[in-house]
Amino acid sequence: MENIVRTKAEAWINGNYDEQTKNEVRRMMESEDQTELIESFYKDLEFGTGGLRGVMGVGSNRMNIYTVGAATQGLSNYLNREFKGRSISVVVGHDCRNNSRLFAETVANIFSANGIKVYLFENLRPTPEISFAIRHLNCQSGVIITASHNPKIYNGYKAYWEDGAQIIAPHDVNIISEVNKIKSPDDVKFTPNKDLIEIIGENVDAEYLAKVKTVLLSPESIKRHQDIKIVYTPIHGTGITLVPRCLKELGFTNVTVVEEQAVISGDFPTVVSPNPEEPAALDLAIKKAKEIDADIVLASDPDADRMGMAIKDDKGEWTLVTGNQTAMMFTYYILRRRRELGILSSNDFMVKTIVTTEMIKKICDDFKTDLVDCYTGFKWIAGEVREREGKQHYIGGGEESYGYMPADFVRDKDSVSCCALMSELTAWALDNGMSVYQFLLSLYQKYGFSFEKGISIVREGKSGAEEIVGMMKNYRSNPPVELAESKVVWIKDYQLLTELNVLTRSKYQIPLLTTSNVLQYITEDGTKVSVRPSGTEPKIKFYVEVQLPMNDPSQYKECIEVATEKVNRVKKDLRIG
């Protein structure tokens, strides 16, 4: 391995790389500790089905203009082959991270050098707007430079197809093949054709926000409660460009932005992790909410596709809302309001991922609305929308990791639309004599209590990747017999597309066209555990869902305690910390 690493590093010193890059490689090679060199060169940063994501720095396993360049040249080659004889155009955007503008301009330059028209956003923009712009501008592809909510040392490259969704088969593997053919900077056309690069901004912003307004279902409630106190934080990211403006245009007059986190910065100076799934990321927003006695706290992650939130409980204490709870509330609200407005159709359908709460299925069943299960990630949700286009009407879908897509004009999770819809839901709940907290508890009383817990185990580097492979292999060959003293009755293996009834030993085919490295265990008492390696981070992820009866809202906190204890027993049975 050491010889391979040094050979690759020497190729960077002798190749057509800039002098600063070469000096950095020399420094790593001369260092007594070779860990940094090995981590930077032991493999090539892989262009996977979601694009690129990695630590920024010099080397073949790092995010830099050369790895970004290879990805873009490969994508350009594929576009020129796939759309031969046609005029090709793409959208390019970026988030707030360090080097994001540099990488975005590098991407735009390479596309243009390959004869491809580029619509480059003037500065940072939310990820969902890039998805929208692809279809709005009739483009064939698009790229946003973002690492979502990863730590500040990361950046990434997210590629989309002409429907505004992330790339899936067969294009994903074909593009990967083209990217893998790029062996050096000499294979990349870095010199731009400036005539093919058009800067865009406000013209697309206005069209996108006009579409966001179409997700609303209770405009009269907004008028009656336009002064509800909303605290919003963009956590130093792209949401600041559109979310406050959007809420103002909808008629909300009392929106407070967390000023410390309105500062655009890839260093994320006020948080350890810029992830609205992490409670600490909302600390400043909740502090502000307490100061002004707000009604709701909303947050978006750095590229503004995920939305986090906090609400007041029955004692006026602030409590965080999970992604599953948000998806559950959106699902019920959309279905109920559409039925009340007379626009809920037998042709409507919703989507959730297989690791998302089963409460959504209960709600959809209650409203006699089709619910489709798919793999984790919005490319699969968007894929279900694409498959049913012209046959069924999409009205909402999401996943547990704080992502929701209320309409199909965006084909990715969309915090701008979600902030708008949740603000409206807050006003609607008040119209119905409830706080958002009381509304949430009413759903548990109606459908039963469900508690979901996500657990991630981080394993960095080459040894970590190997350990994760070993863990998945062990869970597959030695599945648990019981979880929290309840027998495992179903085992679903999405890599083999089989599900096993443990009691009868009967095997069935899972009706999906593609495979995924996911295992799922379901117990007699309805506990569901899903296990999968992350596709974008050095993690193995566990998703635990337990269900309990809840006959009265007063039982809510007791249910949480009982469920938390049960999750801890599940963790012990799975041998995870």
Helix (H, G, I), strand (E, B) or coil at 439: helix
Report whether 247 contacts 313 (CB < 8 A): no
Report whether 181 contacts 62 (CB < 8 A): no
Residues 6+ apart with CB under 8 A from 162: 134, 135, 139, 140, 141
Report whether 405 contacts 323 (CB < 8 A): no
The greatest distance separating any two alpha carbons of the chain, rounded to the nearest whole angstrom, comes to: 71
Per-residue 3-state assignment (H helix, E strand, C coil) for 374-401: ECCCHHHHHHHHHHHCCCCEEEEEEECC
Which member of 40, 141, 148, 415 is catalytic? Answer: 148
Per-residue 3-state assignment (H helix, E strand, C coil) for 290-342: HHHCCCEEEEECCCCCCEEEEEECCCCCEEEECHHHHHHHHHHHHHHHHHHCC
Question: In whole angstroms, what is the distance from residue 463 CA to residue 162 CA?
Answer: 38
Question: In whole angstroms, what is the distance from residue 319 CA to residue 230 CA?
Answer: 15
Does 148 participate in catalysis according to the annotation?
Answer: yes
Residue environment code for 274-302, b if the CB has 16+ CB neighbours within 10 A, otherwise e:
bbbbbeebbebbbebbeeeebbbbbbbbb
Report whether 364 contacts 335 (CB < 8 A): yes
Helix (H, G, I), strand (E, B) or coil at 158: strand
Residues 6+ apart with CB under 8 A from 387: none
Side chain identity at residue 476, one-letter code: R
Looking at the annotation, which residues are catalytic? 148
